[in-house]
Amino acid sequence: MGQGLSCRTPDEHGLFTAVQFGDLEIVKTILERDPSLIQQRTVYDRHSALHIAAANGQIEILSILLENRSVNPDSLNRHKQTPLMLAAMHGKIACVEKLIEAGANVLMFDSLNGRTCLHYAAYYGHSDCLQTILSSARTSHVASSWGLSRFVNIRGGKGETPLHLAARQRRPECVHILLDSGALVCASTGGHGLPGSTPLHLAARGGSIDCIRELLAWGADRLHRDASGRIPYAVALKYKNGACAALLNPSSAEPLVWPSPLKFISELNQDAKALLEQALMEVNMEREKTILKNTGYSVASPSHSDTTAMDDNISEASDSQLCCICFDQLCAIEVQDCGHQMCAQCTLALCCHNKPNPTTAALPAPICPFCRSNIARLTVVKVKVNSADQDLDVYSSPKLRKSRKSQNLSEGSSSFRGLSAVPSFGKIGRGSGRVSVDIEIDKL
């Protein structure tokens, strides 16, 4: 009585401490002395050395532990959490990658909230971990047995998908990744939050304009009602998120929506897709500024925009570089097979112009505005640079774009005067320091 709170041996206690603080030599020494200690668990939470290494990002120790064939990469603690869940919770990307490489199962559910590692990454906002887990699912048995779409929309114990958690916790980058991977934008929860809540309801409650912008751009319904009959606008008002409420007000202008049903949009390469997605976000931000102009609220301009540099570049650009539709932006997108070019904004307006046919529910395929031919594919414009006769993408990567300012090439303007000036294309609507392994419980 009173002599100690644990029956652990000194070596066992020393192993867990060494793993937590990343003392590789002590870990090796202890395990050489008594290899059986690799199977020991902490008294209360039942953490293994692998759990502790994963939660604290000790990748070298994690690798050594996984080399032992007796170590199960999916070992469970008291709450049936795996090392992969704890690594995703704490954003330890190297440990996430190593555990997946070692065969960790991404379809394990905990007993705390019935959630997977994908839920953990989304809830805590670790977009790199989220992307890694999704990439693993695409190339593993998960895609063939479950299907990627089913995995992306996997539900926790109260009916919450990873998208619900990311929206509620104000994680716009995670929201974007999940939507881009096939998350259902209007999925309703079960018992999580208020029953029947969509991600837009939860984003309105959390007060994240960035999350709301992403959700609306992917077609979230502002009129969807939860179990109590509230639309997202009413939720934003209840939690005093005035700017969010202004954007969600059904009487305000509807945002432009990403034209995902179009075949050539689904086949875009990464450069063209990033360019059009940025144009979509910026045109919707212009709408937001108009809505919020007389409300006392404001939205920040995109941090990556360089309006001054863009204006200088456009003033120095030749007429052949300017879009022949709006005469305001540089040509960035090329239509194939005809080869006609236009700016990202006009391309986006073209793709988003037509609403689905009410009889077929199919989206009419846009055609080239110059020659009226069918659009087979959209690519980033290639131009001749200097006298080297070398083809380069105008908008291939942020680093290259920055280095090409002297060549009158830019990544686009934050101004969308040209989009509204085109009569033939309408806008349609629709912790720092060491991390411990303490359990964090979602109280929502």
pLDDT in tens, 383-410: 554 544 444 444 444 433 434 433 333 3
Where helices occur in 355-435 by DSSP H, the ranges are: 398-403, 417-420
Instruction: State residue 196's pLDDT score.
Output: 93
226 Cβ contact partners less than 8 Å away, ≥ 6 residues apart: 188, 194, 195, 196, 197, 198, 201, 235
Look up residue 114 and give its two tokens.
């019935």
Residue pLDDT, tens place only, 295-332: 777 766 544 444 434 444 444 445 558 888 888 888 89
pLDDT of residue 143: 82
**End-to-end alpha carbon distance in the chain:** 40
Spans of all domains in the chain: 1-118, 155-252, 257-292+317-353+366-384+392-424
Is residue 407 a contact partner of residue 401, using CB atoms and an 8 Å limit?
A: no
Give residue 180's pLDDT. Answer: 93
Say what the pLDDT of residue 436 is: 43
Strand partners, 384: 391
How far, in Å, CA of 383 to CA of 270, rounded?
18
CATH of 155-252, one of 3.40.190.10, 2.60.40.1080, 3.30.590.10, 1.25.40.20: 1.25.40.20
Q: Report the alpha-carbon distance of residue 122 to residue 105 in Å, rounded.
A: 17
The closest of 63, 59, 112 to 85, measured between CA atoms, is 112
CA distance 129 to 86: 11
> Superfamily for 1-118?
Ankyrin repeat-containing domain (1.25.40.20)
pLDDT of residue 383: 59
Specify the pLDDT at position 140.
86
Give the percent of the chain with pLDDT over 90: 52
| DSSP structural state of residue 317 | S
CATH of 257-292+317-353+366-384+392-424, one of 3.10.450.50, 1.10.10.10, 1.10.760.10, 3.30.40.10: 3.30.40.10
Report the distance separating Cα 218 and Cα 235, nearest Å.
20
Tell me what pLDDT residue 300 has. Answer: 61
Rounded to two decimals, what is the model's pTM? 0.79
Name beta bridge partners: 342.
333
Cβ atoms of 121 and 129 closer than 8 Å: yes
- The CA distance from 249 to 157, in Å, is 32
Within 68-198, residue ranges assigned H as helices are 83-89, 93-101, 117-123, 127-139, 141-145, 148-152, 162-168, 172-180
Question: What pLDDT is recorded for position 350?
Answer: 85
Q: Do domains 1-118 and 155-252 have the same CATH topology?
A: yes
Instruction: Show the low-confidence residues of the chain (pLDDT under 50).
Output: 1-9, 302-317, 357-358, 385, 387-444
Residue 72: how many other CB atoms lie within 10 Å? 16
Q: What's the confidence (pLDDT) of residue 94?
A: 98
Q: What are phi and psi of 393, to 5 degrees?
A: -70, 135
CA pair distance 228, 225, nearest whole angstrom: 7
DSSP 8-state symbol, 378: E
